[in-house]
A and B are shown apart, each in its own frame.
Chain A
Amino acid sequence: MNATKKLSQRIETTQRMKNVFLSVVPPQAGFLSVGAILLTLSVACQSPSTSKTVIKFWAMGAEGEHVQKLMPEFYRRYPDLEVKIQGIPWTAAHEKLLTAYAGNSLPDICQLGNTWIPEFNLLNALENLDDWLASSTAIEHENYSPGIWETNVIDSSVFGIPWYVDTQLLFYRKDILAKAGYNHAPRTWDEWYEVSRKIKQLPGSQEKYAMLLPINEWRPFVITGLQNGSLLLKQNNRYGDFSGAQFSAAFTYLMKFYREQLAPVGITQVTNIYQGISEGFFAMYITGPWNIGEFQRRLPAALQDQWMTAPMPGPDANTPGVSLAGGSSLVLFKSSKKKTAAWKLIEYLSEAPPQLEFYKITGDLPAVREAWSDTAFTNNVYIQAFYRQLEHVVPTPMIPEWEQIAMKVQQYAEAASGEHLSVAEALQALDREVDLILEKRRWMLKWKK
C-alpha cells in the first residue's frame, strides 16, 4: 500500500500547490498590474511641452546625424514647432520604411533617395505636392536643375523636393594625362579611348591601367548607355532594351577598355582606390562628390595639385555627356496629420542659407542653385565640374523595379568583362532577366486598363 500512500501525498501536495499558487496570485492581480503599467506609460508619455506641434522627421546616414544642427534657426522662426529627428542607417532604411508603411507608422516628413520615389508613390504613401507648391513662394522649380527635379515628378505631379544632389563624373590624374599629351580631360568618347591607349603605352605602364571600371558598379554602364541615347527600357518601361543598338554600342565601347587592358578586370587587383590612383595604377575613375573630400584627405601632399575633376565625356562633340541624377529628396507622407507644419520644415530646408550650411557640415551638394553662388563653391575648383555636370543629368527609369534591374546590369557587365559571355550574349541574357522582373509590371498595366 506504499503506492497509495505516495499518491495521497502527491494529491495533497498538488492541492497545497494550488492553494499556494492562488494565494500568491489573486485573480485580480493581472488586471491590477496591467493597470499599473498603463498608468505608468500614460504618465511617461505625457511630454512636458504639450502646446508644441511635434513633427516627426526621418533622415538617413550622415544627414540624419547632422540635420539637427540646422534646427536652431527653424525654432527661432517657429517657436510653436518641435522637430523630432530620427536617424536611420542607409543599409536599413528601405526595410524600415516599408515596415513602417505596413505598420502604419510612417513619420510626417522623410528624406528619400530619389530613386525610391516611384516605389513609395506606387504604395500610395506620398503626398502630392502640387497644391503645396502652387501656394508656396519659397520653393520654385526653376531654382533646381531640370534633371534633378524630374526625378521627383510622376505623371506630371511632384512628390518630393530635392534636398541635396549627387552625380557621377570623372576624377583624373592631371600629370599622367599630360604625359600622354593631354592637358585637359577627355571630352568625347574618342578622346577618352585615345588618351587611355596613350597612357597604357607610356613607358613602365605595362602593369598599369588608364582607368578603373570596377565590376561591382553598374553606374558607368548605365551612364554611357544613357549618353548614347538609350532609354534602357522600352514600350513604357515594360521590356528591357539593353540589347538595343544604342545600349549595345555603349556597352561594347566600355568593354573595349577591359579587352585591351586599359582597365583592370576584376576588383582583386585594386584594394584601395586612393592608393591605386596615388601610385598611378590607374589615372581615371568615375565617382561622386563625396570623393572630393576623400581625395583631399587620402592622397599624398605631393599629388594634391595633380588631380582634378571633369564632367563626363560624351559620345560625340556635344559635351559634356549626361550623367545620373542622384541625391535625396524631402517628402511628405499622406498619412501625416501635421502636413502644414511639416511643409514649413521642407520650405526652410530648401532655402539657400541652410542648404549652404548643410554642405559645409556634410559635404552634400545643395539642390538649390542659388546656394552655389557662395564662395565655398566658386573657390573650389573640384566642385565646378559637378556644377556643370548637374545641368546635364537624367534620371534612371522611374519604376520600382529599377534597383533590381541595376543589380542585373552589374551582374552581366561582370560576366562580359571576364569574357564568360560575349557582349551580345550578355545583353540578350540581361534583357531576358529584365523582362522577367518586369512581367508583373506588364500584367498590372494590362489589368489597370
Chain B
Amino acid sequence: MSLRISFSGEISAETTQRMKNFNKSLSHEIASVRRAAYFFLAPALIPIFVFFFVPALAAFVLSFTDFDIYSLSNIEYARFVGWRNYVQLFKDPLFWKAMTNTLYYVLVGGPLSIAASLGTALLVNSRLIRFKGLLRAIYFAPVVTTLVAVAVVWRFMYHPRFGLLNYALSFFGIAPIDWLGDPAWAMPAIILMSIWKNFGYNMIIFVAGLQNIPAQLYEAARIDGANAWEQFKSITLPMLAPTTVFVSIIAMIGNFQLFTEPYVMTQGGPVNSTLSIVLLMYQQGFRWWNLGYSAAIAFVLFGVILLGSLLQAKLQKRGEA
C-alpha cells in the first residue's frame, strides 16, 4: 500500500520512517546474507583447504626431505636434505627417459587428439549428416567408459598374433607388429588408444564452439564466392580460436599427467619406453616408498605444466595481436 502512495509523490512521515527502518534492516540483511553465503560455501571451502592446500604444502615440505620406508617405521629416520632430491632427479637418466616419453606423448598425441576432435566435431555438426545426436553419443561413449575395461579390449586388439589390428594390416601386406612388446611401437600404441578414448570429450566442446559461430558470416562468405576450404580457413578456424586455446591447454595439462594408460597396458615397459613422469612418480612413491623423491618429481612436473600453459597462452596472445 505504502509503495503505491510513494509512487504518487506524497511521502508521509510515517512512510519515510518505514523506509529508513527498511534500509537499516536491509544492510543488516546483506551482512547476514554474506554470512550465510560463507556458511553455505564452507562445505566446499573447508575440504578444499584440508584436502588440497594442506596436502600440497605437506608434499612441498616432503620434497625437501628423504622420507622413505625407514621413516615410515620411525619418523626420526627422516632428514631435511635441502635441494638434494631435485639435484639427484636432474641427474637421474630414468627421469630424463620419462620426460622424453612424456613430451613425445604430449607433442605427438596432443595435436593428433585435437585434430581428431575437431575433425569429428565438423563432421557431426555438418548439415549434410543425419542422426547427429546418435553420432555424438557414439563418439562420446569411449569417454565415459572405464579405462581399465578399454585397456583390456585394446590389449586384445594389439595382440601380435590374434589381434584385430595386425589382422587388418595383413591385408595391406604389413608384417605383424608387436604393438605393446616393441619399444618403438609401444608409445604409438598408447597414443592411438588414448586418442580413441578421449577425442569425444573435446569434440563436444568444439561442437559448442562451432554452434556459436554466426551463420551470417558463412552466408556473407558464400556470397563473396568463398569455397568450403576458404570458409573453414578464414571463418571457422579464427572463430574457434578461443575454444582451441582452451582445449589445447586442458589437453596439454591432461597429457602431461599420462598415467593410467601405461600403468594398465604396459607398466611402463618394454624397456621403459612408456614410462611417464607420473608413472615414475608412482613407482618411486608407492613401489620403492621414496616419498621425498617422489614429491620432488611432482613439483618438477607442476613447474613444467605451469610453464607449458603460460607459453601456450602467450603464443596465442601473440597470434591474436
Contacts and interface: CB of A to CB of B under 8 A. Distances in A.
A442 to B, nearest CB: 12
A119 B161 CA distance: 41
Interface band, chain A = 20 to 34
Interface stretch (A40-48, A94-102, A204-212, A331-339): A94-102
Interface in B58-109: 66, 68-70, 72-73, 77, 79, 88, 94
Interface stretch (A3-11, A60-68, A190-198): A3-11
Measured as residues with beta carbon below 8 angstroms from the partner, the interface class of chain B is: 20 to 34
Contacts, number: 61
A4 B22 CA distance: 9
B269 A268 contact: no
B70 A440 contact: yes
B73 A122 contact: yes
B308 interface: no
Given A14-B33, A94-B287, A411-B94, A123 B3 contact: no
B162 to A, nearest CB: 11
A407 B270 CA distance: 13
A46 B321 CA distance: 71
Given A14-B33, A94-B287, A216 B88 contact: no
A7 B271 contact: no
Contacts of A444: 70, 77
B183 interface: yes
Interface in A435-449: 436, 440, 443-444, 447
B29 A98 contact: no
A1 B3 contact: yes
A206 B147 CA distance: 44
A123 B181 contact: no
Contacts of B77: 440, 444, 447
Interface in A240-277: 266-268, 271-272
B3 A4 contact: yes
A1 B11 CA distance: 13
B247 to A, nearest CB: 34
Contacts of B289: 98
Interface in A157-209: none
Contact of A271 (B22, B66, B178, B269): B178
19 contacts: A1-B3, A1-B6, A4-B22, A91-B267, A95-B287, A101-B72, A102-B72, A119-B69, A122-B73, A124-B73, A266-B183, A267-B181, A267-B271, A272-B160, A272-B161, A411-B94, A436-B88, A440-B66, A444-B77
Interface of B: 3, 6-7, 22, 26, 29, 33, 66, 68-70, 72-73, 77, 79, 88, 94, 160-161, 178, 181-184, 267, 269-271, 286-289
Interface of A: 1, 4-5, 7-8, 11, 14, 91, 94-95, 98, 101-102, 119, 122-124, 215-216, 266-268, 271-272, 400, 403-404, 411, 414, 436, 440, 443-444, 447
